[in-house]
Amino acid sequence: MILSSKSLMTFPRMVAAAGAGAVLAFVGRIALGLGWESNVPMMRELLFLAGLDSILIAVLFGLLATFVAKGKPGRAFLLGLAAGAAPWSLISFPIAIVVVAVLWKFMPPMPARITWIGGALAFLLAPLALLMPIVESLYPAMPTPDPIELTADAPAANPGSPDVVLIVCDTLRADAILDPEVPTPNLDALRATGAWSKGAVAPANQTLPSHLSLLFALDIEHVGMRNNRSRWPSRKNLRDEVQAKSMAQRFTDAGYRTQAVASNKLLSSGEGKPGEVKTNKSNQWMSDGFHSWWNVSRDSKGFVRFLRWSETNSLIGFLASHQIGIKKRPLNFFLKRMTIKQSLNGYRMHFEEGESTVAAVQQSLQALTVDDRPYFLFTNFMEPHDPYLPPPAFAGTIAKAEDLPQGFLNDVDGEFRMRRQVHVSTLNKRGAVSPEVYLPTGEFLQDLYHEEVAYFDSLLGRTLEIIRATGRPTVILFVSDHGEGFGVHLDPAHGHTLFESEISVPFILNGPGVPEGVELPFTPELVDGSRTLLELAGVNTKFADGHNVLSPDFKQHATMTFREGQISTFDGRWKLHANFKYDNDTPKDQIEGREVEKGRYQLEALYLFDLIADPGEANNLLEQHPLEATRLLAAIEERLKSDIYPKISPRELTDEEQAELDALGYVGHDDSPSATNEDDH
């Protein structure tokens, strides 16, 4: 289509007139409340999207009017008005066409001043919206917990049963709380008056499998999960295969009140109020057995609601939606990046999260201690999970200004850009830089992380004060779900390797029946902590896995940790990393002529480390000690005999689950390089 010289002169007037119509429609819809209800989140972003719509409508319908309106701006105005007024759907669009056709011949002349002023507003609305402050609260009101209601026939607890508290600090490395440069007086005191290990082995390097193993007292092979995106066992899977019962249910059956306070929203995925239907009943949710599950996380669904609003109230949103036959909405990424900076989005989600969690624990204990009945409290803190943005009292105490990597600012955006540099570089993506560049960046990020660890210690101190103020005998287990990497071993954060930085976590046990100031002479698994809590409280342990770490018969056993495509085991000295594949997950053209055997795995030893002599896992001794590797591979194979993964159906993430994982940094599949590529990077 070629514009004549006359059309070229007409086109700007038609664009301005169509834009004026779009702006009038926008103002009218706000005045009438059509599509602009008060419960729609992200008002600044909605205004920005309306501005983009005005520009798009002005250009598209101005171009159309140039050829069909016969030089009459009033008709272009009508086109813009109809396009802007109609909520965009397959039903309303034809109605708009009929309205335009009826009024086409009756449109009066359009005053030039109104045409140009309205057109200018159409193009100014979007940039003006971006200048507005973000009005959505950084710290929305605290949700209220579910009531802790006991039925009249609730079982009575055994006399003298202690209260039990399980505290999980998300993403906390074992070495971080033993570093003399990191002030952790409250953890030090907890350790000095209890039993502890220099490190425990997490069953996975991501949140969901580790917590499911911990909260159900199950070995990781009896959970069947590999990572946050992998197959997720159903209640039926766990009941039929391993007779599983959650720790909360065991405590409830023993006469305890049970309460959870979770600040990691992944743990609360699908949770609802009592009696509500879960969004995905095929998964085994963490809340089973708890009288009350309190999700204190930020509401991360605002952007999802924003997208849903845009589908039926915006031309751009409509073009980006699944309504026009495109399963993946191609403009979602564009809309998100244009409306909220990614660095700010992470900051907003975690702003004052620890304060919220402490307040929730305090309120929970008021409900849990209304009488002498013992309680079981599980609480999850998100600190020091990224973003690493310690509050002012801790900022600059470890991460010194003079150590800031060149080219970055020590602010919200700078912290995000530093994490991104390490991520793209270790995963060898576009924009990667050499280790000489990204490793110093990783060191500074680790200093910021250590400041967050120090901040968490202060939160823990307040939490312990609240618990001790009850004056009741309380057993406390403190652990983490996984660690964190900062570029060493190509581990940009967590979820990518099975090196100690990602899977060695703190383990501190404290309270009645626990010896004081005792360092355990072995390395437990997280499930051992679960088993120990149950036995200390005198609660039924039938079909529970793990071993009581306080038992004189406890012996170091071969641990096991999963990630997608890899597995590791540790026996107290030797640690083996191995690649593994489940045949049913392997493409048929890679099976090499043999039949796929359900439940069969392919194992390949990669690394063997002597962690006593080489705790940093720097010297691969696989060739020097093949018998040790063979022995540990046999230990893995023995445990894999009871792996329930083959019994679990493949999982397809919902849009909501995908959005929650993306928000926490679990973007896409685990695309980290194979461990065999590390030395070549």
pLDDT of 679 over the 50 cut: no
- Distance in angstroms (rounded) separating the CA atoms of residues 110 and 13: 10
**Fold of the domain spanning 164-384+475-554:** Alkaline Phosphatase, subunit A (3.40.720)
pLDDT tier, 72 (very low <50, low <70, confident <90, very high otherwise): confident
Task: Report d(CA 190, CA 608) in Å as an integer.
Answer: 34
* pLDDT value at residue 324: 46
DSSP category for residue 485: -
d(CA 664, CA 661): 5
Q: Confidence class of residue 320 from pLDDT cuts 50, 70 and 90?
A: low
Amino acid (one-letter) located at 362: Q
Cα separation, 455 vs 172, in Å, equals: 12
- Say if residue 227's pLDDT is above 70: yes
Report the candidate in 391, 398, 447, 397 with the shortest Cα–Cα distance to residue 418.
447
- What is the rounded CA–CA span in Å between residue 523 and residue 313? 57
Evaluate if residue 159 carries a pLDDT over 50: yes
Claim: this prediction has a pTM higher than 0.95: no
Residue 80 has pLDDT above 50, yes or no: yes
The proportion of the chain whose per-residue pLDDT surpasses 70, expressed as a percent, equals 78
Judge whether residue 338 has pLDDT over 80: no
Distance (Å, whole) CA 24 – CA 118? 8
CA–CA separation, 425 and 435 (whole Å):
8
608 token code pair: 């063997």
Please, what is the angle between helix 112-130 and helix 73-85, to 10°?
Answer: 30
The predicted-structure confidence for 564-578, as pLDDT tens digits, reads as follows 889 999 999 999 999
DSSP output for 70-110: TT-HHHHHHHHHHHHHS--STTHHHHHHHHHHHHGGGPPPP
pLDDT digits (tens, 9 = 90+) for 519-545: 999 999 999 999 999 999 999 999 999
User: Where do the CATH 3.30.1120 domains begin and end in the chain?
Assistant: 566-680
Distance in angstroms (rounded) separating the CA atoms of residues 180 and 208? 31
Residue 271 has pLDDT above 50, yes or no: no
- What confidence tens digit (pLDDT) does each residue in 587-619 have? 554 445 445 455 678 899 999 999 999 999 999
Both tokens assigned to 426: 């270790």
What number is the average pLDDT over the span 199-209? 95
Q: Looking at residues 500-526, what average pLDDT do you find? A: 97
pLDDT at residue number 91: 62
SS3 call for 286: coil
pLDDT band at 337 (very low <50, low <70, confident <90, very high): low
pLDDT-derived band of residue 346, with 50, 70 and 90 as boundaries?
A: low
Residue 436's pLDDT is 93
Q: What are phi and psi of 412, to 5 degrees?
A: -60, -50
Q: If you average pLDDT over residues 468-491, what whole number do you get?
A: 96
Residue 182 has pLDDT above 70, yes or no: yes
Which of these, 240, 239, 201, 199, lies nearest to 220 by C-alpha position? 201
Average pLDDT over residues 102-125: 84
Structure confidence at residue 137 (pLDDT):
46
Range 67-103 burial, b when 16+ CB lie within 10 A, else e: eebeebbbbbbbbbbbbbbbbbeeeeeeebeeebeee
Contact by Cβ (8 Å): 128, 51: yes
Q: For residue range 614-654, list pLDDT tens digits in order.
A: 999 999 999 999 999 999 999 999 999 999 998 888 876 66
pLDDT tops 60 at residue 108: yes
Whether 29 shows a pLDDT value over 80: the answer reads: no
More confident residue, 409 or 498: 498
How many other CB atoms are found less than 10 A from the CB of residue 62?
28
CATH code, residues 566-680: 3.30.1120
When pLDDT is cut at 50, 70 and 90, the band that residue 660 belongs to is low
Average pLDDT in the chain = 83
Q: What number of CA atoms fall less than 13 Å from residue 365's CA on the CB side?
A: 20
> In sequence order, what E strands does 363-520 have?
375-381, 474-479, 504-510, 518-519
DSSP string, 125-159: HHHHHHTS---S-SSPPPPPPPP----TTPPPPPT
Give yes or no for residue 293 having a pLDDT over 80.
Answer: yes
Ranges for all domains in the chain classified under CATH 3.40.720.10: 164-384+475-554
Least confident of 173-187, 297-311, 524-538: 297-311
Averaged pLDDT, 347-375: 86
